[in-house]
Every structure is written in C-alpha cells, then in structure tokens.
Amino acid sequence: MVDAWIQLLRAEASKPWTFLELGFWVFFTFVLVGFAALERKIALRNAYLMLASWFFYYHTSQWYVVLLIFTTAVDYGVGHALHRTSRTALRKLLLGISIVSNLGVLFFFKYAYFAADVWNDLTGFAWNPQPFWAGWSNAHLGTDFVEDVILLPVGISFYTFQCLSYTVDIYRRQLDPVRRFSDFAFYVSFFPQLVAGPIVRASDFVSQLYQPYTVTRAQFGLGLFWVVNGFLKKVILADFLAVHLVDRVFSQPTLYTGWENTLALFAYTMQVYADFSGYTDIAIGIALWMGFTLAKNFNSPYKARSVAEFWKRWHMSLSSWLKDYLYIPLGGNRSGSTASYVLIFAGLFGLAWWAPNSWVSYALAALVLVFLVMYQFIPAFRRGFNTNVNLLLTMLLGGLWHGASWNFVVWGGLNGLGLVSYKLWSRVRPYRVEGWLIRGLGVALTLVFITFTRIWFRAPDWDTAMAMLDQLRTAWELAPSLAMLHAWWRPALVLSVGFGIHWIPERYKEQYRVRFAQLHPVLWGLAGVMVVLLAYQFMAAESQPFIYFQF
C-alpha cells in the first residue's frame, strides 16, 4: 500500500499525468477535498491551489517546475514595479525585462536547435546547444535532467504567453497587479489549462480568484458534460484515427496510394481538432466544478465559410492573443511598422543566404529588388502591402509558435496567404448575400484548404511533407480500390461520424447540453459509466499523448 502511494507521488518522465490517467483523477479528488475545506478562506485556498498546480506540473514536466516558478516570480515583480512608477523610461525598461526573460527562456528551450541549424548552415560552424545547468544540478541537487539534450518543458508556450499578457496589460494601464504572489502564481499555473490551454488572460481570470465558491447543480452538470464530451473526442475520434490510420500513413506516405494519403490527411484534420478541443473541453469542465470559468477555445471551426472565419473559430485564445499583442502592435491593418519591414527583409535576405541552390538565392534577391521598386513607385501596391504585411507576419510567427521547424513556417505562411487572398476576394466577389449553396461551397473549400496546409503541420520533416504531396497528385489518376475501401472502412466510418456530429447546428448542440445538465444525478452517473465503457472499447493499448503538449 505504501509503495503504491510512493509510486503515485513520484514523477516519471515516461508517465506524465494527463486527463486520461487514473493518477490524475486521484490527485483531483484530493484537491477537491482540500478545496472544500478552504473554500471560505480565499487567500489560503488560492495558495493551496497554487501548490496543487505546481505538484501537477511536477508530475508533467518534473523539475522544470522550477522554470515555471522562476517565470512567475519575474513577472510578479515586474508587474508591481510597473504599477508603482510613472517614469516612461523605467516602465519601458521593466517591460523589456519581462519580454526578454519570457521570450529568452522560450527561445532557449524551444528554438535553440532550430537557430543552431540555421546559424550552422549560414556560417559553417558546428554549434550544438547544451543544457548547461543539467550536470551541475544532477550532481549537487539530486535532479535527473537529461544532460546532452534540451528537452521542451510541457506547456511553456502557453504559460509564457499568459505571463506576457499580464505585464503588457499592466504597462498599458489596462490592469492592476495581483496583490499576493500566491494569487498570481495560481493564475499562471491553474492546472486544468496549464499545459495545453486555453491561454487565459489575467483580465478575465484574476477577478474570479476572490469570488466565493459557488457551483449550482446546472453548472456541475454542464461541467460533467464537457468532461465526458472531451473524453469521447480524445479516445473515440482522435486516438482511434491516429492509431488506425494517420500515424501509419504519415510515417511512410510513399507506401500508400494517393487516396489513402488523402483519407489520412482528412483524418488528421479531424484528429488534431478532436484532440485539442477534447483537452480544452475537459479543462473547462474541471474548472467549472471548481467554480472557475475558462474562455471557450473552439467554436465548430470546420463550419467556417472562409479562412478568416476559421481563425475566429479555431484556438480562439491564441488567435485573439496574437491579434492584441502582435498584429496590432505591428501596425494592424493601418500600416506597416518598422518591425514589420525589418522582419520581412531579414527573412528574405536570410532565405537568400541560406538557400541550398544559387538560383534560389538570386531569385529571392531579385524579389527583394522588385519589391523595393514597386513599393517606391506604385502607390496602390504600397497601400496593399501595408495593409496585408502584418497579417502575413502574424501568421508566420504564429506558425513558429507551434514549432521550431520550416514546416511550421510554411504552414503559418500558407494560412497567412489564405487570409490575404480571402481579404482581396471579399472586395471583388460578385455577390454579397450568401445562399445555402454558396455557404456550403465556402465550407467545403475552406475545409480542403485548411486540411491541405496540415501536411506541413503533421509531417515530421520536409521530405515527408514532399513525399505526401507527390502521393496526393496520384489520387486523381486511379479510383479507390475495393481492397482499400475494405482496409480502411472503420476509420473512414469514425471520420464520417465525427464530421457529422461537428456539423450539427449549434442551436441543437446547445439544447442537448442544457438537457444533460438538468438530468438527475443518478442519470449523470449512469451516463458517465456508459461513456467510460464505450471509450475503453476504442482505446489503444497505451493512451496517446495530447498533440498540443509538444507546443
């Protein structure tokens, strides 16, 4: 018995806690017991939840919890210092400390190898970044850091953006700092959404820290619905499609026909949605049980009739963060800022230098010269460029946020081009009122485009992406065979059911959510048991990690 408890408390890198693990739900049960005991003592309650969240993160990323605490401490101190001073120069310096510390840590852990590859290609050096602290910490503190590889701490992109939004909002005088360190640390590390979002802003969450705990029966029922809904999405849709189709085809796309690659690509577009939205559904449900409200992160994105609408429905907390803290500061849709032009030209010249073939370098250099001439002498081009450059840059940097590789840059760039193209098309399209046929065509075209861009999002490297692209071209040459239909009918059926449920009108979804929340508690229990039994029929031998843990 004692050994079982020790095993539960011990963090293992190979077994991080997720919502699918029994250990997490045992942990959550104890958290609720302590939470109930302290519900009227708000300061103690928040400190308790801070410690519980740190313990959860320890079980997810082991000793990298120290990095989370460091980032939290820096931004807590910067926030109070910003609030106390009105000197412009000092305020800018303090904001710079927050930005450099947050992005510096994020850059080292997430982009060091990517930067080293680019630098080594440009200079011929052989820089190999190392976790310089690992050996000393292991020898003197008894930690177990890997000493020759920089591992990415789970959720670092999410809590870094939360901390940055906090200090920027205080700098803009849109927010007052949190009084107690434990309150701020609880906001940053709130365990249901810590490792995969949604990205929570202090302006939306901090006020909830000081409210008394109240959860109605309807709120509890709605929370249970979101937990069950997320669990089904993850296990029946995301994991089943990954194990039985997506992972097989993406590992070696040349072994499969163009039709099979097409099916796998559409299956992945459903997998990544079901996986990520399933996580946030469970996070929202757990938070509701604890009396906290998290922002909605997905709004049936595959109902979108354009790329612009898709990005208003997909990962909404990231989209709004990028708009408020990157797109608008770059100049928004008004003009190109100095930062915009520096990023554009640095990227073009960097690509020209890095390009493996001389003709590519010459072509990129020529593109820069043509741009300069057109920008100087064609006013219409200048206005159009100023309007769209920041949108493209925002999507490129959003792609890099997802991962440190050229694949993610291409994925972000394609989505940026899709946004700009739709923006231009919306000005010249010959219709303004959309009937059902136009709406359906818009949904289909948007889904196809978004799914196409996911080649670079999912492929492990550039060569695999190109191999899949080549295979997709052959899909139109041959009809799918009966053998192929027989081999893949199960994942195809699950995929069809997933899209069918996704496209149910929102008013009907709202109705059955409300009805579920109003059921008798006995029926809640029966529904929960039935869902778990159903899900375990689909579950693979080992649970699949949530996709966005890697970001």
Please check whether residues 137 and 245 belong to one and the same domain.
Answer: no
Residue 3 lies in a domain: no
Residue 443 lies in a domain: no
| Residue-level pLDDT at 546 | 74
| Residue-level pLDDT at 71 | 93
Question: How far is it, in rounded angstroms, from Cα 414 to Cα 453?
Answer: 7
Q: 543: which DSSP letter?
A: P
Domain end point (choices 415, 433, 451): 433
Residue 298 lies in a domain: yes
Cα–Cα distances in Å, from 157 out to 211, 232, 330, 391, 428? 28, 26, 21, 21, 39
Please check whether residues 414 and 480 belong to one and the same domain.
Answer: no
CA neighbours within 13 Å on the CB side: how many for 440? 3
Question: How far is it, in rounded angstroms, from Cα 520 to Cα 497?
Answer: 28
Please check whether residues 189 and 221 belong to one and the same domain.
Answer: no
Please check whether residues 69 and 105 belong to one and the same domain.
Answer: yes
Residue 5 lies in a domain: no
Please check whether residues 298 and 355 belong to one and the same domain.
Answer: no
CA Rg value for the chain: 25
| Residue-level pLDDT at 194 | 83
Residue 442 lies in a domain: no
Please check whether residues 502 and 429 belong to one and the same domain.
Answer: no
pLDDT mean across residues, the chain: 82
Instruction: List active site positions.
Output: 402
Residue 6 lies in a domain: no
Please check whether residues 280 and 339 belong to one and the same domain.
Answer: no
Q: What is the pLDDT of residues 71-84, one digit of tens each?
A: 999 999 999 999 99
Residues 6+ away with beta carbon under 8 Å from 465: 407, 410, 455, 456, 459
pTM greater than 0.75 (yes/no)? yes
| Residue-level pLDDT at 367 | 65
Question: How far is it, in rounded angstroms, from Cα 279 to Cα 286?
Answer: 11
Residue 64 lies in a domain: yes
Residue 450 lies in a domain: no
Total domains in the fold of the chain: 3
| Residue-level pLDDT at 2 | 47
Please check whether residues 75 and 222 belong to one and the same domain.
Answer: no
Residue by residue, pLDDT tens for the chain (551 residues) are 445 445 555 555 556 677 878 788 889 999 988 888 888 888 899 999 999 999 999 988 888 898 899 999 999 999 999 999 888 899 999 999 999 999 988 888 888 888 888 777 777 777 787 777 767 777 766 677 776 777 778 888 889 999 999 999 999 999 899 989 999 999 999 998 887 778 888 888 888 888 888 888 888 899 999 999 998 899 888 989 998 899 999 999 988 888 889 999 999 999 999 999 999 999 999 999 998 989 889 999 999 999 999 999 999 998 888 888 888 887 766 655 555 555 555 555 555 555 545 555 566 567 666 766 666 667 766 666 666 777 888 888 888 888 888 888 889 888 988 888 888 888 777 666 677 788 888 899 999 999 999 999 999 888 899 999 888 887 666 666 666 777 788 999 999 999 999 999 999 998 988 888 888 888 888 888 887 777 776 665 556 777 766 66
For the chain, how many residues are written?
551
Place of tokens 């990023």: 343
| Residue-level pLDDT at 539 | 67
| Residue-level pLDDT at 305 | 92
Domain end point (choices 392, 414, 433): 433
Please check whether residues 65 and 165 belong to one and the same domain.
Answer: yes
Domain end point (choices 387, 414, 433): 433
Q: 315 lies in which domain range?
A: 306-433
Task: Write out the two tokens for 376.
Answer: 């100087």
Please check whether residues 379 and 417 belong to one and the same domain.
Answer: yes
Q: 15: which DSSP letter?
A: S
Please check whether residues 263 and 345 belong to one and the same domain.
Answer: no
Please check whether residues 73 and 126 belong to one and the same domain.
Answer: yes
